[in-house]
Structure 1
Amino acid sequence: MNLYSVLVYLTAACILVSVVNLIVSRHAVTLGLVTPVQYRIRAATIVVVLLTLFMGLWWLKT
């Protein structure tokens, strides 16, 4: 198993964790535990991290 395959699996795991995190965070907003601004900041951070991972994978593939 080469480095690229390991990174693909890690990226898939990060996507799964990110989706679960966003779902739980959205429920926290509904319950009033997190403000909508905090939720948006968290969602934006997750999107930036995932884009960075995808750019790294693309860079390794080319």
Structure 2
Amino acid sequence: MKRQKRDRMERAQSRGYQAGLNGRSSDTCPYQTMDARMNWLGGWRDAREEVQSGRAK
């Protein structure tokens, strides 16, 4: 049985989250479409908030 690919928007958020944890700038967002970009930035913001509050691993 084939594995189902993750949703593209979910993947964008996950990649943004990883970028935020790694301390990358929000300017490095690789997405051009507004929906994917918004999801990437949402993940990035979530990660930066965790880093700032000390909850990040």
In which range does the TM-score fall when normalised by the shorter chain?
0.3 to 0.5
TM-score (norm 2): 0.47
The structure carrying a bigger helix percent of its residues is 1
TM-score (norm 1): 0.44
